[in-house]
């Protein structure tokens, strides 16, 4: 029962979980295959881009904080 890619529902929490595991690079093959069968690829792309953006913003914030802390001393 393979649904067309654009009609797959998938939950947003499942999508976020799959993307987080993808960022870590650790995923069981059975879970990966389950994600492929159930999740909408467009949702995965959207969540991945959003999480990458948030990761970069976090790094920028961290660097600015470390530089500000170092120059205050």
pTM: 0.74
Q: Where are the domains of the chain?
A: 5-72
Q: What pLDDT is attached to residue 5?
A: 58
- Count CB atoms within 10 A of the CB of residue 39: 22
CB 37 within 8 A of CB 10: no
> Who has greater pLDDT, 4 or 27?
27
Q: What is the pLDDT of residues 48-64, one digit of tens each?
A: 999 999 999 999 999 99
Helix ranges (H only) for the chain are 12-24, 29-38, 41-72
pLDDT, averaged across the chain:
86
Average confidence (pLDDT) over 4-33: 82
What's the full length of the chain, in residues? 73
Structure tokens at 47: 């969540």
pLDDT at 2 over 70: no
């Amino acid at each position: 029962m393979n649904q067309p890619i654009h009609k797959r529902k998938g939950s947003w929490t499942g999508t976020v979980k799959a993307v987080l595991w993808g960022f870590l690079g650790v995923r069981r093959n059975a879970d990966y295959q389950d994600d492929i069968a159930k999740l909408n690829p467009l949702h995965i792309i959207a969540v991945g881009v959003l999480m990458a953006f948030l990761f970069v913003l976090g790094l920028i914030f961290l660097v600015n904080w470390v530089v500000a802390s170092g120059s205050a001393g």
